[in-house]
């Protein structure tokens, strides 16, 4: 069983007991977090796609640790101009472990019956009339 979940603005394909790195979450180390924005669920070949999210489904994860990612070097240069800029960046990350993928299908309610027969019988048909204008050519006087 796997799910596609949106976590901190990014989509991840997750399975149970999988550890992933996501953008820094606002949770303490060792706490459990739940993600409700499940976009797709696959349960032994039965795929459930949400529009935009699957109703009643959630993914529970445990925060393992907060850390910083590898350094990314940003180097800018313009040739023959003497312009060089070197910057570095380390992204703040959170390592989480997926504990459970919960799939709770919501029972569909029967749609309320409206009195469509009365509405259909009250349709008003408008007749449009086209006005015809007759133009007369003015005669030339010599």
Which pLDDT score, from 0 to 100, does residue 103 have?
86
Which pLDDT score, from 0 to 100, does residue 136 have?
57
| pLDDT tens by residue, 111-134 | 655 555 455 555 566 667 666 666
Model-level pTM?
Answer: 0.66
> What's the pLDDT band for 135 if we cut at 50, 70, 90?
low
| pLDDT tens by residue, 37-91 | 999 999 999 999 999 999 999 999 999 999 999 999 999 999 999 999 999 999 9
Domain map of the chain by residue range?
2-67+94-105
Q: How far apart are CA 93 and CA 11, in angstroms?
A: 15
Task: Evaluate whether 39 touches 4 at the Cβ level (below 8 Å).
Answer: yes
| pLDDT tens by residue, 46-57 | 999 999 999 999
Q: Once rounded to an integer, what is the mean pLDDT over residues 12-41?
A: 96
Which pLDDT score, from 0 to 100, does residue 105 have?
53
Nearest in space to 40 (alpha carbons), one of 28, 53, 31: 53
Distances (CA, A) of 127 to 4, 91, 122, 130: 55, 68, 16, 10
Task: Evaluate whether 4 touches 11 at the Cβ level (below 8 Å).
Answer: yes
Which pLDDT score, from 0 to 100, does residue 106 have?
47
């Amino acid at each position: 069983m796997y799910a596609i979940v949106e976590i901190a603005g990014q989509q991840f394909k997750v399975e149970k007991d999988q550890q992933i790195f996501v953008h820094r979450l606002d949770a303490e180390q060792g706490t459990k977090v739940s993600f409700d924005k499940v976009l797709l669920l696959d349960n032994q070949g039965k795929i459930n796609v949400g529009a935009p999210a699957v109703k009643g489904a959630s993914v529970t994860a445990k925060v393992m640790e907060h850390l910083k990612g590898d350094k990314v070097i940003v180097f800018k240069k313009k040739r023959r101009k003497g312009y060089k800029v070197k910057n570095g960046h380390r992204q703040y990350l959170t390592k989480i472990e997926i504990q459970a993928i919960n799939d709770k299908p919501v029972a569909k309610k029967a749609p309320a019956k409206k009195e469509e027969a009365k509405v259909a019988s009250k349709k008003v048909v408008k007749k449009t009339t086209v006005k015809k204008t007759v133009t007369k050519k003015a005669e030339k006087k010599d």
